[in-house]
Structure 1
């Protein structure tokens, strides 16, 4: 997870495959709605009050956080709650939620019921701007553009990546078990979304440095061109947020952080955001000599660290160690927390270093 900028020193960074996704659709998280309702009740009420399809609202929250509020702590991109409400110069869903609901920002950040209600209000406001009438709003397929905009991406390709994730969840279905024992379910539904203006947004081009990856460049203000030291270390991070959300954040000039690569939890999809030859801001004093790999998820939830993610990331690390002559050992393949001069804890104690290194060294086949 990339740290925030520090004075006088540039800082650090922090269409899912249906079969891979299906294996991940039971998740636990500590979110609990306030008042007399469960999280499931909060989704139903917010959906009814704002005319947003309930299953769509759940899919957005599940795609962002797996319905885990992370005890009110913000994500890498500054998003709060199960619905990841954000207030940055480029993405202001938290502020819009406060304006539309009249609820205080503090409640929207920490109260799950308020957070869900705020997200529904943001989506309805976007639907109104798009001119969706009552019949449109009843059809989840008509909400694609509103969902894409909710994600806050700075370009159409990343916005489509975000929306495609949500609609993949609708097609596959969701069964989330929360810490209070209640469940939130979405039955599988064959939804074919109306892509609207995003129909022409094709997939990201391929990476020149690592052909299996997509190429979605970070904003130029979030990294430095060139390097001052040879590449000698690979640094493992956890995004503290979603895959699409992290990509969008590194494309936001307000971030002032980045990583070279981001790996998705469900299917191991990889996106490169900074060329190997350039210096991503992900590890403070270690930036100059390292390559940073972000992994979708949260340090306190091992469910994000899937077998597919481990294998995909290990294949990338094997490629990097081959290309740059980096020894395949724990002195040269480090967690963010192990880089000198850093105060972060990722990838945390739930990251399986023994398994990961066995994949990197070839003791366990990575493919």
Structure 2
């Protein structure tokens, strides 16, 4: 494997001015409450005070802190790069490098940097401020002061002073990234100054309101970055398919986990992008996926700092979704991180770099930027009846779909209003205020930080679904997981939740409760005045064409008789536990797609005569033959 140095800290090299969303209310998860904040504006005041103390333009410090943490403190929780607090001050210990402490778990790529200052900015900040290392780790205001002191010291070394002109802080911001390569450092600074241009507004998990007003006129002095004496990027990028501003290298994925193809030129459409998480670190993930015996692969791997390794060309088929039919038509993006750890791993750099990559891929392959085509691994259909219950549930309930779709320039549309029976709603709980109780057990957390099954309250991307309009009613249990039993609040129990961006037809409304058709049943969720939904129009609704129930599928292969002689037909069988009963309705893709299959041995593509809709059936999608249903467009009010 051609290994490269990772930039320590968050250093995604993408054009933030394209992706930064001004005024979006966003909040990561898994932060711990910071008791040093006595008012909802204490963090904003601490940032402004620190900027004044160290003679830094306040917009620069606010934007830098946003890029490092989205203004979340995370309490005493350490990041994957060994960083603490709002300013991500690093203090990597030998225990972290050995994998015996939280943060930087087994990070072999950090070991060769351990003796340098990049992994010990917290210690440098302690010398500059006179504050103790403990204060800088645990106290919000102290951490902000430490980061400000560090940034000011870089500016003085670079320019000899602390100018009032924000544009002259570009070089110091680039150095703050701790990147050893000029491309990474400049990318980080571009991101920070993009945030200054676009502005941002956040309500954090612990209730802090922080805002940076937009300054579209900012014109940073980018030439300052050359004075840092950093190395030009030397990574092999010849084989990559990435947008120019994303730091991207190529490492060949396992040949056992991919099939050479020529999509879409050979007639196999690419219409879906699947978001995953690795459940391990970036380097461990790349190494594992490069192992020639690994039966899995992915097209891209995204690090917590926004670096990208491409492992399978987009023309080829990567075995990444657990469903060959889905693999045929999708591109997979894995992310460094753990589903149960939330924002400690899903960083702003990941969100923004992934958004840039997804926009690039969507443009190339004409993929719609909506939640029918930009999905999580947890939304992928089970390929057959025996495999549905064991399908993966990453990136999990703490991936902020609302924020991510906004970064794509495709925010969830519609108005919050009381739904009408027969209308279509988009699930859209406000992430920052959507606190859900979730049970996490040791087997759910590969980091080892969970030692017993515990109930946690965390911001999440879903609403719970119940069997009746009451908080005491049982959770709905998906048939593939529970049979006829009720559901649970276990973090991996995807069957009892509807996720941000998913769309359903309203079956009933009673007071503050809304019912939707879901998994062949009528299920209920709390939705006072439509606070957790947006009404959607213009989408496709399908219903059974006749009086009987309609079968659902997890794949879209041609009929057996349509395969030429000598080519074995893939099995196309209905999912035995699922159906659409008469009288129910579901949201489908705009147009049905042809059934198809691929044979890598000779490059043959078999395209069937029938077409299938992909529908939002439950937490996952499913497929239905177009001939079995009638399709209408959702208008202001739809009735049976």
TM-score by length of 2: 0.39
Question: What's the CA shift for 1:275?
Answer: 3.9
Question: What's the CA shift for 1:354?
Answer: 9.2
Other structure's SS at 1:34 match: coil
Query: What are the equivalent positions in structure 2 for 1:1-367 lying under 5 Å apart?
Result: 15-18=14-17, 20-22=19-21, 25-28=24-27, 32=34, 34=36, 38-88=42-92, 89=114, 90=116, 91=118, 92-134=120-162, 136=163, 138-179=164-205, 181-189=207-215, 190-198=217-225, 208-212=239-243, 216=247, 230-231=256-257, 236-237=276-277, 258=286, 261-262=300-301, 272-273=308-309, 275-276=311-312, 293-294=334-335, 300=342, 334=392, 343-344=446-447, 350=461, 363=614
Higher relative contact order, structure no. (Cα contacts within 8 Å, ≥ 6 residues apart)? 1
Q: Distance in 2 between matches of 1:41 and 1:193?
A: 25
Q: Does structure 2 retain, via aligned residues, the 8 Å contact 1:262–1:296?
A: no
Q: Does structure 2 retain, via aligned residues, the 8 Å contact 1:26–1:177?
A: yes
Q: Does structure 1 retain, via aligned residues, the 8 Å contact 2:122–2:136?
A: yes
Q: Distance in 1 between matches of 2:338 and 2:221?
A: 29
Q: Distance in 2 between matches of 1:56 and 1:230?
A: 48
Q: Distance in 1 between matches of 2:258 and 2:178?
A: 35
Aligned length: 303
Q: Does structure 2 retain, via aligned residues, the 8 Å contact 1:263–1:296?
A: no
Q: Distance in 1 between matches of 2:392 and 2:357?
A: 15
Larger Rg: 2
Question: What's the CA shift for 1:292?
Answer: 6.5
Question: What's the CA shift for 1:67?
Answer: 0.8
Q: Structure 1 pair 97/43, CA: closer, same or farther in 2 (3 Å)?
A: same
Q: Does structure 1 retain, via aligned residues, the 8 Å contact 2:338–2:446?
A: no
Deviations 1:153-203 (CA, angstroms, capped at 9, x unpaired)? 121101111111100000111222235654222221121111134369999
Q: Distance in 2 between matches of 1:180 and 1:145?
A: 32
Q: Does structure 2 retain, via aligned residues, the 8 Å contact 1:65–1:82?
A: yes
* Structure richer in helix, relative to its length: 1
Q: Does structure 1 retain, via aligned residues, the 8 Å contact 2:16–2:191?
A: no
Q: Distance in 2 between matches of 1:239 and 1:147?
A: 31
Q: Distance in 1 between matches of 2:178 and 2:356?
A: 25
TM-score by length of 1: 0.63
Question: What's the CA shift for 1:206?
Answer: 5.8
Q: Does structure 2 retain, via aligned residues, the 8 Å contact 1:96–1:122?
A: yes
Q: Distance in 1 between matches of 2:237 and 2:73?
A: 34
Question: What's the CA shift for 1:72?
Answer: 2.1
Question: What's the CA shift for 1:131?
Answer: 3.2
Question: What's the CA shift for 1:112?
Answer: 0.9
* Structure richer in strand, relative to its length: 2
Q: Distance in 1 between matches of 2:70 and 2:80?
A: 16
Q: Structure 1 pair 309/274, CA: closer, same or farther in 2 (3 Å)?
A: closer
CA-based RMSD: 5.1
- Structure 1 unaligned residues grouped into runs of 5+: 1-14, 241-245, 278-290, 319-327
Q: Structure 1 pair 292/179, CA: closer, same or farther in 2 (3 Å)?
A: closer
- Structure 2 unaligned residues grouped into runs of 5+: 1-13, 93-113, 260-273, 288-298, 314-331, 366-379, 397-442, 449-458, 463-498, 503-553, 555-587, 594-613, 616-640
